[in-house]
Amino acid sequence: MVVAIIDYGAGNTKSLQFALDRLGVNNLLTSDADRIKNADKVIFPGQGAAGSAMKKLKHYNLDSLIIGLKQPVLGICLGMQLLCEHTEEGDVEGLGIIQGTVKRFTNEVKVPQMGWNSIHELNGPLFQGIENDSHMYLVHSYYVPKLHETVALCNYNGIYSVALQKNNFYGVQFHPEKSSSKGQLLLNNFLNLER
Amino acid sequence: MLTKRIIPCLDIKDGRTVKGVNFVNLRDAGDPVELAAQYASEQADELVFLDISATEQKRKTLADLVLRVAAAIDIPFTVGGGIISVSDVEILLKNGADKVSINSAAVKNPNLIDELANQFGSQCVVVAIDAKQINGQWKVHLVGGKVPTELNLFDWAKEVESRGAGEILFTSMDHDGTKQGFANEALAQLSEEINLPIIASGGAGKVSHFMDTFTYGKADAALAASVFHFGEIGIPELKKELKLQQVAVRLDG
């Protein structure tokens, strides 16, 4: 099995590569269209600002490529948010795979949310063997509201989506590569998905 | 619920941990990677590596260490100590650090905060502030607390926030090393005036100090070094006690 991590200059991909190494999985960081299309699984990481991330994706022609992928795709953090059609962060259009708008936490809470939060109402194959109330590591200022595609919830300044799934597209707001054993379990579940 | 974080801090010199570490089950207590893995297994929520070496090889040694730490552990970690430029940060993040901490360099060149936030995102920019009280005023100090400035702690914290920092690590020089508890009054004021996560540092001596800084001090995270390194407080025991006292902590599996 080969896992392609989409390379568009997004933040800390080294930790993700190391997490996949620890799981003994062949992985490569690439922006090459053929290598991404031919991978068994694709991970779409993200960190930093939505606007510059979308610009870079378009620059490498990766936006339409991602939308057309047929194998399981996992968006992480900003990668999950960009699966949505729109984000308030810089008023930017996302990939539009999932209908919904990414919103900013209000200043009633500290922004960014930083740290380990518990996750609830876990559904679908990503969360197999992960108990309700498990903690995952999150760092983010924007969030996806509860949607039809929501497969896990979190609470910070209210209930929001901490994981999404639509067809072969999966997204998690937390960083599984930084979420200790539970995060590793989630990554492993993703790797075990049938094509 | 978002949990309060417990953060051991490792002082690093020339790629090795500095302060004596009293862990019976480590083969090499001076190896930061082994110590980091041990803390991760004990459910530390995050780690901070503070490089205090002053050699010319420093940058390369630290970058190599970050790579080895990232390969070994699966919890977030912050790296600080002598970071002065965007290129310093770039290599550390590329090698797997989640966040960097800047201190004196931010005071001398506040634009560095904006540059780092713009280039890498606020989430990875921690500004460390060392301060102590002079005539009842909290004054920011530089170079590990040795050099006083005219900057007021709360004014500086506000500026740091407005320039795009993602988190503040506040060390009270008055409390550091005393083991008499954290600077909870100043911490609570920071939390009221600043809308960023605040890490409390300086003064941890016993379990109740953590309890106090999370409640009275309104801290989001608490950092300590020697109480953890010398095994005076075990992280699992600390977290169990905090949970008993109704503080939200991560205690999985």
A107 touches chain B (CB under 8 A): yes
Minimal CA separation from B16 to chain A, in Å: 22
Does the beta-carbon distance from A11 to B121 stay under 8 Å?
yes
CA gap A66, A61 in Å, rounded = 9
pLDDT category at A9 given cuts 50, 70, 90 is confident
Contact A55, A117 (CB under 8 A): no
Q: Rounded to 5 degrees, what are φ and ψ at B101? A: -115, 125
Q: What is the ipTM of this complex?
A: 0.94
Q: Which residues of A touch B250 (CB under 8 A)?
A: 116, 135
Active site residue A77: yes
A to B CB pairs, distance under 8 Å: 105
Q: Between helices B184-193 and B207-215, what is the axis angle to 10°?
A: 30
Parallel, antiparallel or unpaired: strands A73-76 and A98-104:
unpaired
Among A76, A117, A139, A157, which would you mutate to test the B interface (most chain B Cβ atoms within 10 Å of its Cβ)?
A: A139
Q: Does B164 contact A at CB distance below 8 Å?
A: no
Residue B131 carries which side chain, given as an amino acid letter?
A: A
pLDDT for B143 equals 81
If pLDDT is split at 50, 70 and 90, which confidence band does A164 have?
Answer: very high
Contact A178 B167 (CB under 8 A): no
Band (pLDDT 50/70/90 cuts) for residue A22 is very high
Are residues B96 and A18, on separate chains, in Cβ contact within 8 Å?
yes
B74/A47 CB distance under 8 A: no
| pLDDT tens-digit map of B170-228 | 999 999 989 999 999 999 999 999 999 999 999 999 999 999 999 999 999 999 998 99
What CATH number is attached to the domain comprising A9?
A: 3.40.50.880
Q: What is the pLDDT of residues A25-84, one digit of tens each?
A: 999 999 999 999 999 999 999 877 899 899 999 999 999 999 999 999 999 999 999 999
Instruction: Output the average pLDDT for chain A.
Output: 96
On chain A, the residues whose CB falls within 8 A of the CB of B3 are 115-118, 135
3-state secondary structure of A164: strand
The reply to whether residue A116 touches residue B124, judged by beta carbons under 8 angstroms, is: no
B148 touches chain A (CB under 8 A): no
Q: Inform me whether the C-beta atom of residue B42 falls under 8 Å from chain A C-beta atoms.
A: no
Closest residue in chain A to residue B44, using alpha carbons only = A180
Count up the domains in chain A and report the number.
1
- Comparing A19 with B118, the larger pLDDT belongs to A19
CA of A51 vs chain B CAs: smallest distance (Å):
11
- According to the 3-state scheme, what is the secondary structure of chain B? CECCEEEEEEEEECCEECCCCCCCCCCCCCCHHHHHHHHHHCCCCCEEEEECCCCCCHHHHHHHHHHHHHHHCCCCEEEECCCCCHHHHHHHHHCCCCEEEECHHHHHCCHHHHHHHHHHCHHHEEEEEEEEEECCEEEEEECCCCEEEEEEHHHHHHHHHHCCCCEEEEEECCCCCCCCCCCHHHHHHHHHHCCCCEEEECCCCCHHHHHHHHHCCCCCEEEECHHHHCCCCCHHHHHHHHHHCCCCCCCCC
Does the beta carbon of B80 lie under 8 angstroms from any beta carbon of chain A? no
- DSSP code of A150? E
3-state SS, one letter per residue, for A22-78: HCCCEEEEECCHHHHHHCCEEEECCCCCHHHHHHHHHHCCHHHHHHCCCCCEEEECH
Please report the pLDDT score of residue B144 as a whole number.
75
A120 close to B (CB below 8 A): no
Cβ B74–A21 below 8 Å, yes or no?
no
Cβ of A30 under 8 Å from any chain B Cβ? no
Name the pLDDT band for A21 (thresholds 50, 70, 90). very high
Contact A184 B74 (CB under 8 A): yes
Measured between beta carbons, the chain A residues lying within 8 angstroms of B195 are 107, 110-111
Of B95, B120, B197, Cβ closest to residue A14: B95
Per the structure, the complete domain to which residue A154 belongs is given by 2-191
Tell me how crowded residue B231 is: count the other CB atoms within 10 A of its CB: 11
Chain centroid, CA A66 distance in Å: 13
Per-residue pLDDT averaged across A106-110, rounded? 95
Residues of chain B falling short of pLDDT 70: 19-29, 253
Give the pLDDT confidence score for residue A93 in this predicted structure. 97
The confidence score (pLDDT) of residue B19 equals 60
Instruction: Provide the shortest C-alpha distance from residue A97 to chain B (in Å).
Output: 25
What integer pLDDT is reported at residue B20 of this predicted model? 52
